[in-house]
Amino acid sequence: MIIAVDFDGTISRESAFPAVDLLPYPVNVLRLARKNGHKLILWTCRYDEPLLAAISACSKAGLFFNAVNENEPFHLKDWIKKHGKGNFSLKAYADLYIDDKACLPGQEINWEAIDLALNGPLTVEEEKELTDWYADYVLKVGVKKISSLLRGFSSQLYVPPLRLRAFKEFARSLPPLR
């Protein structure tokens, strides 16, 4: 599946613009989706330095895109084969567009639904393994530290099982615990 994803208000806090403040849960859902074979397009209004800052921040977080503000290369090759060179739109083709502006006023993007659709449901065994892992992780790291790490995943120490999958990926990217 080809996924076009907006940046500000979608995977970074909109209030941070022109700086970047990545939201860990959306970033990790997309990292898992790419790991599962989905193609990602960063589809944003950012340009010049703010765009470079966004791409750099995503790269540092382990989130890489197949294309930025253009069609995914393999799709473009197929399109040209079928329709001829020069017969394509400026709009990037995607199977799924994720954008905060696609929500009704007052609503937010449902990242749990996106995670479920892209990365599949958790089995009972996975849920138990993740819950056990999280309990051990909280004991190792401590409640104060875990509270700051959870920013963007959950507003409480309780993390819904589906979000735990992305949180575990995020925790793996952190320096080793001491």
Query: Which tokens sit at 31?
Result: 């990292």
2-119: CATH architecture: 3-Layer(aba) Sandwich (3.40)
For 28-87, the pLDDT digits (tens) are 999 999 999 999 999 999 999 999 999 999 999 999 999 999 877 665 666 666 666 665
- Domains of the chain by residue range: 2-119, 124-172
- Tokens 């997309």 locate to 30
Q: Are 3 and 38 in contact (CB under 8 A)?
A: yes
For 148-161, the pLDDT digits (tens) are 778 777 777 777 88
User: How far is Cα 21 from Cα 43, in angstroms, rounded to an integer?
Assistant: 17
The stretches of 36-123 forming alpha helices (DSSP H) are 48-60, 73-83, 111-119
Query: Which tokens sit at 4?
Result: 């076009």
Phi first, then psi: what are they for 91, rounded to 5°?
-75, 130
